[in-house]
């Protein structure tokens, strides 16, 4: 093995790239992470860091449940609890019709043996969220869900990959990937690396990396926005969403309110910018004050938005490239990839090192999106 030959090159220093590198390096693989800017520059540094199984699509639910178990033991993986608190996630119903939809979901989950979501009535809802508006009629709740601190998570994963022996190259964008006999040569700005395997964890730009190895995978771009308030007295512990409206609402350890939930800004992939839209944020603020009238006069001190890839069915792509042996994709998390970080990295390490994984990625194959694209081509 020469000085620049690796078992795997991981493209992208977001949390998914770091998690893949960590699991690979711990298994003894020689790994380098190549990041165009710096660790956490894009979605992983902008995330709300909700750790949610509640209302997960059935196509990724088993994977998400395994990841939740890993979050409950995250300090064993990265030597820090990443600020993770399992105060639960609650999806509130404002009307009997919304509650009926939540009930139907919980019953259908129960019928298939899933017990992580439960339906609660007004009394238990008031106990869990004492300052919730009285018009709310019930909720579904996942009590083992919660939220983490994204910057603590980034620091912990970054430190852990370096301790495990992985290399990290920042400020170096990958510009080409070429086949060299049984290996891949990954070409960065002024440098290159040769490896048996390549992990594509390039977030919003992952379709461009996929195209370098012949995979034409259609992806849209999300520009999810967040806003943060001044510090308030502690009054809410779970993360709250509303059935049928865009809202994710929580209070951080510092007392600030962190409000998001899919509110969209304006993405620009070429410039790598994401611009907040104040009018849309105002709708999120309205939803928050409808639920918690006491926060009506609170000051918002900061807003931001982050770029991420979105797939047609809102499920990520996790698995081998259909066209390039030894290349593995992990992207398209469509606004809910933070929770999946520990398990997706483990699945990628399985794939790179053993060519297969027992983890539940069967619904996340890239080919499902490529065939949708081919069917819609006239
Ligand atoms: C505002 C917001 C709120 C969110 N809230 C939640 C939440 O509450 N719960 C949840 O589960 N998920 C949430 N998400 C989603 C979650 O944050 C993402 O799914 C996750 O962070 C994606 O991580 P990643 O590593 O795949 O991508 P990223 O963190 O974007 O990392 C990809 C990296 O690849 C690099 N890169 C791109 N091109 C190249 C290249 N050519 N060469 C080298 N490097 C390259 C980029 O610079 C970037 O650093 C949220 C996302 C946003 C934006």
* pLDDT tens, residue by residue, 185-236: 999 999 999 999 999 999 999 999 999 999 999 999 999 999 999 999 999 9
Q: How many CB atoms lie within 10 A of CB 62?
A: 17
Q: How far apart are CA 131 and CA 133, in angstroms?
A: 6
What's the average model confidence in pLDDT over 323-341? 98
Confidence grade of residue 57 (pLDDT, cut at 50, 70, 90): very high
Taking the centre of ligand 1 as the mean of its atom positions, its distance from the CA of residue 19, in whole angstroms, is: 12
- Structural domain includes residue 80: no
What is the distance between the alpha carbons of residues 193 and 351, in angstroms, rounded to a whole number? 20
* Same domain for 224 and 132: yes
Which domain-ending residue is among 310, 326, 352? 310
User: Is there a single domain that holds both residue 261 and residue 230?
Assistant: yes
Q: Are residues 102 and 171 in the same domain?
A: no
Statement: residue 374 has pLDDT above 90: no
171 and 24 in a common domain: yes
Place of tokens 């009054």: 235
Query: Is the same domain home to 41 and 95?
Result: no
Instruction: Tell me, yes or no, whether 130 and 248 share the same domain.
Output: yes
Task: Report percent pLDDT > 70 for the chain.
Answer: 97
Q: What is the DSSP letter of 264?
A: B
* pLDDT band (50, 70, 90) for residue 1: very low
Is the model's pLDDT at 309 over the cut of 50? yes
- Our mutation pick for probing the ligand 1 site, out of 190, 302, 308, counting the most ligand atoms within 8 A of Cβ, is 308
Cα–Cα distance, 6 to 168 (Å, whole number) = 13
Q: What is the pLDDT of residue 376?
A: 59
Answer yes or no: do 226 and 290 share one domain.
yes
Residue 295 DSSP code: G
Q: pLDDT value at position 4?
A: 67
Nearest CA to ligand 1 atom 33: 12
Rounded CA gap, 54 and 73, in Å? Answer: 19
How much is the pLDDT for 290? Answer: 93
Question: CB neighbours (10 Å) of residue 165?
Answer: 14
pLDDT in tens, 19-37: 999 999 999 999 999 999 9
Least confident of 10-19, 105-114, 282-291: 282-291
Token output for 96? 């009997």
Q: Is residue 11 part of a domain?
A: yes
User: What local confidence, expressed as pLDDT, does residue 261 receive?
Assistant: 86
Same domain, 225 and 134: yes
Per-residue pLDDT of 125-163, as tens digits, reads 999 999 999 999 999 999 999 999 999 999 999 999 999
Buried (b) or exposed (e) across 248-269, using 16+ Cβ within 10 A? bbbbbeeebbbbbbbbbbebeb
69 occurs within a structural domain: no
* Contact yes or no for 258/149 (Cβ under 8 A): no
Q: Of 310, 333, 355, which residue sits at a domain end? A: 310
CA distances from 263 to 109, 121, 160, 246 (A): 28, 28, 33, 7
Collect all residues with Cβ–Cβ distance below 8 Å to 221 and sequence separation of at least 6.
Answer: 204, 267, 269, 307, 308, 309, 310
Question: Is 230 in the same domain as 298?
Answer: yes
Considering the domain architecture, whether residues 138 and 117 belong to the same structural domain is answered as yes
> Coil, strand, or helix at residue 274?
strand
CA angle 276, 86, 75 (to 5 degrees): 95
CA of 113 to the centre of ligand 1 (A): 32
| 274 found inside a domain | yes
Distance CA 71, CA 142 (A): 14
Mean pLDDT for 359-369 is 97
On whether the CB atoms of residues 212 and 329 are closer than 8 A, the answer is no
pLDDT at 287 exceeding the cut of 70: yes
Task: Give me the number of domains the chain comprises.
Answer: 2
- The dihedral over CA atoms of 221, 208, 312, 264, expressed in degrees to the nearest 10, equals 0
CATH number of the domain enclosing 229? 3.30.9.10
Domain termination residue (choose one: 272, 292, 310): 310
Q: What is the 3-state secondary structure (H, E, C) of 134-185?
A: CCCCEEEEECCCEECCHHHHHHHHHHHHHHCCCEEECCCCEEEEEEECCEEE
How many angstroms separate the alpha carbon of residue 133 from the centre of ligand 1? 34
**Residue found under tokens 């994204």:** 150
Q: Are residues 160 and 206 in the same domain?
A: yes
**CATH assignment of the domain containing 346:** 3.50.50.60
The answer as to whether 36 is a domain residue is yes
Average pLDDT of 302-326? 97
Global pTM reads: 0.97
Ligand 1 atom at minimal distance to the Cα of residue 248: 8
Residue 65 belongs to a domain: no
pLDDT tens digit sequence for 156-169 = 999 999 999 999 99
Pocket of ligand 1 (CB under 6 A): 11-17, 34-37, 41-44, 46-50, 173-174, 201-205, 209, 224, 226, 260, 306, 308, 331, 333, 335-339
Residues 350 and 252 in one domain: no
pLDDT of residue 137: 97
Mutate to test the pocket of ligand 1, among 74, 202, 238, 275 (most ligand atoms within 8 A of CB): 202
Mean pLDDT of the region 315-332:
98
Q: Which residues pair with 33 in a beta bridge?
A: 10, 168
In a domain, 329, yes or no: yes
Distance 278 CA to ligand 1 centre (A): 22
The tokens for 27 are 């298994």
Ligand 1 centroid to 209 CA: how many Å? 15
Q: How far is the CA of 42 from the centre of ligand 1 (A)?
A: 5
- State which residues form the domain around 197: 5-49+151-217+313-368
* Residue bearing tokens 């899919």: 262
Q: Rounded mean pLDDT of the chain?
A: 95
What pLDDT score was predicted for residue 373? 58
What per-residue confidence (pLDDT) applies to 246? 85
Question: Is 164 among the domain residues?
Answer: yes
């Amino acid at each position: 093995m020469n000085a620049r030959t690796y078992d795997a090159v991981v493209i992208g220093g977001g949390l998914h790239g770091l998690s893949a590198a960590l699991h690979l390096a711990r298994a003894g693989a020689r790994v380098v992470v190549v990041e165009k800017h710096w660790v956490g520059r894009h979605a992983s540094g902008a995330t709300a860091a909700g750790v949610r199984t509640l209302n997960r699509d059935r196509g990724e639910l088993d994977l998400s449940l395994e990841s939740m178990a890993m979050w409950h033991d995250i300090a064993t993986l990265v030597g820090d609890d990443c600020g993770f608190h399992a105060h639960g996630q609650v999806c509130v119903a404002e009307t009997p019709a919304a509650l009926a939809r939540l009930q139907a979901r919980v019953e259908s989950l129960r019928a298939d043996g899933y017990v992580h979501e439960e339906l609660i009535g007004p009394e238990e809802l008031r106990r869990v969220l004492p300052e919730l508006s009285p018009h709310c009629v019930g909720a579904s709740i996942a009590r083992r869900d919660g939220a983490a601190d994204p910057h603590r998570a980034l620091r912990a994963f970054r430190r852990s990959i370096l301790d495990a022996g992985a290399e990290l190259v920042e400020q170096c964008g990958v510009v080409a990937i070429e086949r060299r006999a049984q290996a891949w040569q990954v070409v960065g700005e002024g440098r290159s690396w040769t490896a048996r395997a390549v992990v594509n964890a390039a977030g919003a730009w992952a379709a461009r990396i996929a195209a370098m190895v012949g995979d034409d995978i259609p992806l849209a771009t999300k520009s999810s926005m967040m806003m943060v308030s001044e510090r308030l007295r502690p009054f809410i512990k779970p993360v709250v969403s509303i059935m049928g409206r865009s809202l994710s609402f929580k209070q951080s350890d510092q007392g600030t309110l962190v409000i998001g939930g899919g509110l969209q800004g304006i993405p620009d992939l070429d410039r790598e910018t994401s611009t907040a839209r104040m009018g849309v944020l105002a709708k999120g603020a309205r939803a928050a004050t409808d639920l918690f009238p006491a926060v009506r006069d609170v000051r918002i001190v900061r807003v931001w938005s982050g770029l991420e890839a979105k797939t047609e069915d809102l499920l990520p792509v996790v698995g081998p490239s259909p066209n390039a042996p030894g290349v593995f994709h992990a992207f398209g998390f469509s606004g809910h990839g933070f929770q999946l970080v520990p398990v997706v990295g483990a699945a990628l390490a399985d794939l790179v090192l053993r060519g297969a994984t027992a983890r539940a990625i069967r619904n996340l194959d890239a080919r499902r999106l490529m065939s949708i694209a081919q069917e819609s081509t006239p």
